[in-house]
């Protein structure tokens, strides 16, 4: 993919994602994501991170190399981003990036430590609006991968066609700036 620096370009991304694709993304790029992506949040991400550190992810058939991970529940009400800065989600972004996740999708500003970890692992963070009705039209299928007991917070894999997101953190740069307090 050719590197472009101008803002507001639309980039089609197919999951799983390779290193070069990530290298060429910039903050402000608008993504259309295609293919199979993982969905998980507070209840399962710490457990997946632990399994990775124990070298046991293959045992439950989770493959994170090049993965896109959407911080969302999956339920009859649809999908939509949860706050990625919740403790159990954000503290596992570094580990899951090391495990191979290339695009983390969610919402809300992240800490500088997360920004550094993303950069170190050539991974990015993208944000998307809570557009559940719209996402429903872009979701072809869904299945539970692991931790079924967690209900809507289980680890899911969904197949999406052109799911929209915007790159918020990439290569040490962020769109988020803390507003100055008066």
Partner 1 sequence: MRQGMLTCEAISEAAAKCLVKAGTTFRKDQFEAYRHAIENEKNRNAKWVLETILENAIIAGKMRHPLCDDTGIPHLILEIGDRAMLPPGWLSAVHLGISRGLKVMPGRPMAVKGTIVERVEQSKGLSPDPAKVLPAPVTVKSVRGDKIRITVLLLGGGPEIRAKTHQIFHRRSMEGVLKQAVEWARAEMSRLGCTPCVLAVGIGRSHAESSNLMLEAMKEGRLDRQNSWEKKLTEWLNETKVGPLGLGGKTTALGAFLKVGPLRASGVRIVTVRPCCCIEPRKATVELKGTKSPD
Provide the binding-site residues for partner 1, judged by CB under 8 A. Answer: 7-8, 28, 30, 43, 72-73, 75-86, 106-109, 127-137, 149-153, 164, 166, 168, 175-179, 181-182
**Distance of closest approach, residue 63 Cβ to partner 1, in angstroms:** 25
Of the pair 99, 169, the CB lying nearest partner 1 is at 169
Q: How far apart are CA 145 and CA 160, in angstroms?
A: 16
Residues 20, 1 contacting (CB under 8 angstroms): yes
Of the pair 129, 172, the CB lying nearest partner 1 is at 129
Q: How far apart are CA 161 and CA 34, in angstroms?
A: 5
156 DSSP β-pair partners: 39, 144
Of the pair 102, 138, the CB lying nearest partner 1 is at 138
Of the pair 11, 131, the CB lying nearest partner 1 is at 131
Burial zone of 160 (CB within 10 Å; 0-12 exposed, 13-18 middle, 19+ buried): buried
Of the pair 4, 19, the CB lying nearest partner 1 is at 4
Tokens, residue 20? 């070069």
Phi, psi of 139 (to 5 degrees): -105, 120
**Distance of closest approach, residue 95 Cβ to partner 1, in angstroms:** 21
**Distance of closest approach, residue 98 Cβ to partner 1, in angstroms:** 24
**Distance of closest approach, residue 135 Cβ to partner 1, in angstroms:** 8
**Distance of closest approach, residue 8 Cβ to partner 1, in angstroms:** 5
Q: Give the 3-state DSSP-derived string for 69-106, with helices as H, strands as E and coil as C.
A: EEEECCECCECCECECCCHHHHCCHHHHHHCCCCEEEE
């Amino acid at each position: 993919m050719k590197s472009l620096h101008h803002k507001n370009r639309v980039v089609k991304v197919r999951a799983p994602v390779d290193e070069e694709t990530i290298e060429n993304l910039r903050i402000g790029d608008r993504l259309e994501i295609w293919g199979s992506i993982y969905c998980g949040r507070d209840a399962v991400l710490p457990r997946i991170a632990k399994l990775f550190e124990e070298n046991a992810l293959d045992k439950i058939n989770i493959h994170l190399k090049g993965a896109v991970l959407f911080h969302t529940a999956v339920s009859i009400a649809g999908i939509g981003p949860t706050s990625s800065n919740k403790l159990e989600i954000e503290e596992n972004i570094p580990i899951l990036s090391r495990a191979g996740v290339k695009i983390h999708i969610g919402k809300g500003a992240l800490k500088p430590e997360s920004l550094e970890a993303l950069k170190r692992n050539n991974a990015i963070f993208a944000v998307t609006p809570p557009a559940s009705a719209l996402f429903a039209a872009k979701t072809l299928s869904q299945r539970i991968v692991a931790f079924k007991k967690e209900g809507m917070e289980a680890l899911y894999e969904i197949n999406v066609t052109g799911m929209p997101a915007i790159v918020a953190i990439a290569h040490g740069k962020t769109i988020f700036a803390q507003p100055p307090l008066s």
